[in-house]
A and B are shown apart, each in its own frame.
Chain A
């Protein structure tokens, strides 16, 4: 049967793969470059009898899917790299218990930080921390195929499997072969009590670790299969070979075409566990190997370890010729190859002398009122705490009212420490979705431990930056069903905050007066600046 070809974005291909595999339960918190997975499921879930939710944060998203998996359902969780930090507290013990229904976790990394503040995090490192199997697709077709492969592995070995994409995989389009979807009923599972599996208490927990390590060895053997971790080209007479994975494989192929070279490539579909057998076979007779991977040289270190026993004279190139910072591309790899082979290649490097055009708030964005007032009040005695969302743009010209920026919810957590350590005032900016995600514990800490932080919740009635997803403050679920609408002001009141004001930010005089009034207090205050995101408002009119 010839399959239909459809142009799909990597993230859309992941959804297609999950639907083809018969996924039952999907939970996510949006974050670039993984957001479209939730957006597409939000549209398609009902039609395909899948349960879908935008969860409050990545930790509860994972936990929701753990519950569904323990009840026997096939689950998918999606998040960006920093989401793994948030959910790791439950992810690592999940490796010990293992799953019942299969689980695939999609993690989107962002080399070059195209859409990420915070850090250029390489979430492959979690494989070592938690013994988590990780697959790395390189294009949308593989996004689909590897999602299905990940379900197969998870089903067979009873462990969750991470599918790790990067921006250039998740936001790559290509023709993907589509299988027709068979209609399935909405599945109800059943939680069958099994304390032996589900309770991670000592001394059992150490037994569980042993079981986990045994499973990983079995998956390692599984990954020796000829259809996985493939070798392209002949390694027999070659002196130099390439070991690579994910998007770097495509760049390496193009670099070779560009240089007119034919070198053998070992493409590692599995980052963890590594197929030591395949690697040993590949490097045995080589004189040199180039390890092509983005960010930290994890593979390179592993391969160096294997070469010690297997081919001690092997010359290993990797981070000495390819940067640990920023994404790779064909030209960077061609340059590295040329260096190794002692060849010269011409590289164009024309840099136009044009000042940077920074991102800025959209025309009519309600955050502009807040930024403008803060700009006017700006002084060395007032510290502005930034947080993760569109309002990070408070930090770019012409506003520049952001003095630090870390992770979701951290504006207020850090503000508390500054407030306790100095005589300065701290104002923090946090969006509605970020407030629910992880702002609340920080707010409670300001009350509990008595600091005078002024927290402004920029409630634009959506999770705007990642593409207008719903959140606990909206009154609608990810499947468009009506639900309780939570209000940041009610939560703050329940947390013991006494100075609370809800305001429409267009009333700038009143807004400024309230900020000044609250800044003078010696206890925590909270302003909710509530006005709908202008893009969302325009879309609702259309």
Chain B
């Protein structure tokens, strides 16, 4: 891997993006990559649009992902996925949770889905992460981990699933570990 692999994670404040970012950073380090991440804290986290960046490779300098430079965009919410279109280029893969969180003045769900599939065509993976996690595990919070599982088991992130699973163990408190592990595995067959 000559150039760094650039991931943008998008969502709404409170969806656990920082944990996902930590897990990916840890997994990349365990495979011997240089890694940098960037995230935001404070008022930015209170229910507004948020994004984090993870870049790994032989050598990474800036923690920021510039417009057009994302290899993979993972979004925990439909509209936030569409909002990140500026980070994509014609090769960028989108993995988007089929979950819609409406807000004052926002677009309609059907309009968002229509735009995503028209713009991205085969580059869009619309994943029912929240639905499956709620149904199978009675817990929507772990849908981010489900999306991570989806990405690593389908080789959308050049990291081994074992590395990601180990990183989950390292970053998730013991009492929540089992459900997170289950969620990651569910995505393998999902």
Contact = CB atoms under 8 A, between A and B. Distances in A.
Nearest to B29: A175
B42 A465 contact: yes
Contacts of A254: 61-62
Interface string B81-98: 011111011000000000
B103 to A, nearest CB: 5
Contact of A7 (B25, B69, B85): B25
Interface stretch (B104-112, B129-137, B143-151, B178-186): B104-112
Interface string B64-85: 1011110000000001101111
A362 interface: yes
Given A114-B40, A172-B37, A7 B22 contact: yes
Given A7-B25, A32-B42, A175 B35 contact: yes
Nearest to B40: A114
Contact of A362 (B34, B35, B47, B79): B47
B104 A329 contact: no
A128 interface: no
Contacts of A355: 105-107
B107 A173 contact: no
A352 B83 contact: yes
B17 interface: no
B105 A397 contact: yes
B41 A32 contact: yes
A350 B105 CA distance: 21
Interface in A383-437: 390, 392-393, 397-398
A397 B42 contact: no
Contacts of A398: 104
Given A7-B35, A174-B35, A114 B44 contact: yes
Interface of A is mostly: loop
B190 interface: no
B40 A115 contact: yes
B121 to A, nearest CB: 16
A348 B89 contact: yes
B15 interface: no
A59 B14 CA distance: 32
B82 A354 contact: yes
Contacts of A357: 12, 47-49, 79-80, 83, 103, 106
B35 A359 contact: no
Given A114-B42, A171-B40, A357-B49, A331 B85 contact: no
Nearest to B86: A350
B63 interface: yes
Contact of B67 (A175, A349, A354, A392): A349
Contacts of B49: 356-357
Interface string B11-36: 01110000001100110010000111
A251 interface: yes
Nearest to A329: B64
A478 interface: no
Interface in A307-334: 329-331
B139 interface: no
B38 interface: yes
A348 B86 contact: yes
Nearest to A398: B104
Given A174-B35, A352-B85, A357-B12, 15 more contacts: A115-B41, A116-B42, A167-B40, A173-B25, A173-B37, A174-B25, A251-B64, A352-B84, A352-B86, A357-B83, A358-B48, A359-B44, A359-B47, A393-B46, A398-B104
Interface of B: 12-14, 21-22, 25-26, 29, 34-49, 60-64, 66-69, 79-80, 82-86, 88-89, 103-107
23 contacts: A5-B29, A7-B22, A7-B35, A33-B41, A33-B42, A35-B42, A114-B42, A168-B38, A253-B61, A330-B64, A331-B66, A348-B67, A348-B89, A350-B86, A352-B86, A354-B82, A356-B105, A357-B49, A358-B103, A359-B44, A360-B103, A361-B47, A398-B104
